[in-house]
């Protein structure tokens, strides 16, 4: 398979000058896809110099639908009516330039935009649902935070109250007397052991 890219006026023509095999169809699609990506959304595929293998006629006939899915218009020129939409390049160019072709191209473009917008709508719905659930989670976290702050405030008040009522252990008379006796006993023992 050999490919030749030419233009005639505003039309892009991709000519296939040798037979297309089953294995070459992905290569052909990739070439056409690059043309579409380059902004040329209307392409005339000239297959008049090839003898199409009957086994690939079905796959070749699906190229037009495939192009529409990509948001482009593809007109195949071939004597095989199952594959192409025009019998000659002139007929194909006339078809591309016709009012009907423009309407079909616009319809394809609008369908592509609609499909993209529907996908965007689904994504926005997901985000909206996510935000709603996040808002519920955020409200719950705010309530838990407020409850924790109230609990901390209560604990701080309790600690302050207990600190105000705190009694130093050495201020008690009973403890002072016990400490003096203990201290005296320790001095006596240490004296007996001749440590002091």
**Tens digit of each residue's pLDDT (9 = 90 or more) over 34-77:** 888 888 878 888 887 775 566 676 677 777 778 877 777 788 88
- For residue 39, give both structure tokens: 């902004």
Confidence of residue 116 (pLDDT cuts 50, 70, 90): confident
Tokens 């009907």 found at:
100
Query: Residue 186 sits in which domain range?
Result: 171-196
Specify whether the backbone of 13 is left (phi greater than 0), alpha (psi in -120 to 50) or beta: beta
Check which CATH number belongs to the domain holding 16 and give it: 3.30.750.24
Which of 57, 74, 97 marks a domain boundary? 97
Which of 97, 116, 135 marks a domain boundary? 97
Residue 32 lies in a domain: yes
Q: Is the pLDDT of residue 167 over 70?
A: no
pTM over 0.85: no
Domain total of the chain: 2
Residue 134 lies in a domain: no
Strand partners, 32: none
């Amino acid at each position: 398979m050999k490919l030749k890219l030419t233009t005639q006026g505003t039309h892009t023509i991709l000519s296939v000058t040798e037979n297309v095999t089953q294995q070459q169809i992905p290569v052909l699609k990739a070439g056409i896809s690059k043309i579409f990506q380059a902004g040329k959304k209307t392409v005339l595929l000239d297959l008049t110099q090839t003898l199409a293998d009957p086994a690939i006629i079905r796959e070749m006939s699906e190229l037009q639908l495939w192009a529409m899915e990509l948001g482009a218009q593809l007109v195949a020129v071939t004597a095989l009516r199952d594959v192409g939409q025009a019998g000659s390049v002139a007929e194909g160019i006339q078809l591309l330039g016709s009012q009907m072709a423009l309407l079909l191209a616009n319809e394809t473009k609008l369908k592509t935009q609609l499909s993209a917008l529907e996908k965007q709508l689904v994504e926005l719905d997901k985000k909206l649902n996510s935000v709603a659930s996040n808002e519920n989670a955020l409200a719950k976290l705010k309530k838990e935070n407020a409850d924790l702050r109230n609990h901390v405030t209560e604990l701080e008040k309790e600690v302050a109250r207990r600190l105000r009522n705190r009694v130093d252990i050495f201020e008690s008379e009973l403890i002072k007397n016990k400490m003096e006796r203990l201290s005296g006993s320790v001095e006596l023992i240490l004296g007996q052991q001749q440590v002091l």
